[in-house]
């Protein structure tokens, strides 16, 4: 084979891999938010000394779920029941988190697990409102 043909095949393969990876990321994002549940950018870290990991937070009727922004898994890395989630007070973070403009951080805990989340202010407000409200008939004791 000619060197030009080999280089064209290599370039075509690289382009195909890049397009395939971008298509997978797009399809995964569509799948995660496919049923109309709110999804927002959110960073998470388990240890204050660790680095922030950017991801997607999804709010459902019963669960708060966090997915890594890139990865093959369609299952959340963190999934907490709504009634168990405790969020602390928000405070501005001096850390630069790519993808989040002027992030605020808040510590969260549920089921014996704690971690810290970073949101943009509007997303934090949405999570706090979701946490403090509940859908009709949720966790209602009727005599």
At residue 22, φ and ψ (nearest 5 deg) are: -65, -40
Whether pLDDT at 135 is above 80 = no
In the prediction, which pLDDT does 7 show?
A: 92
CA 141 – CA 75 distance, rounded (Å): 31
CA 93 – CA 32 distance, rounded (Å): 28
How do the domains of the chain map onto residue ranges?
1-32, 36-132
pTM of the model: 0.78
* pLDDT tens column, 113-126: 889 999 999 999 99
pLDDT band, residue 1 (cuts 50/70/90): confident
Residue with tokens 């000619």: 2
* pLDDT tens column, 26-77: 888 888 887 777 889 999 998 888 899 999 999 988 889 999 988 888 899 8
The CATH number of the structural domain formed by 36-132 is: 2.30.29.30
């Amino acid at each position: 084979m000619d060197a030009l043909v080999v280089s064209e095949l290599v370039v075509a393969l690289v382009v195909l891999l890049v397009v395939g990876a971008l298509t997978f990321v797009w399809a995964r994002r569509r799948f995660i938010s496919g049923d109309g549940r709110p999804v927002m950018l959110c960073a998470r870290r388990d240890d204050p000394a660790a680095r922030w990991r950017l991801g997607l937070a999804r709010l459902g009727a019963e669960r708060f779920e966090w997915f890594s922004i890139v990865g093959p898994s369609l299952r959340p890395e963190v999934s907490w029941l709504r009634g168990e989630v405790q969020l602390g007070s928000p405070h501005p973070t001096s850390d630069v988190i790519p993808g989040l403009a002027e992030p605020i951080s808040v510590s969260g805990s549920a089921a014996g697990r704690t971690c810290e989340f970073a949101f943009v202010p509007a997303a934090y407000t949405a999570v706090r409102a979701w946490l403090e409200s509940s859908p009709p008939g949720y966790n209602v004791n009727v005599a």
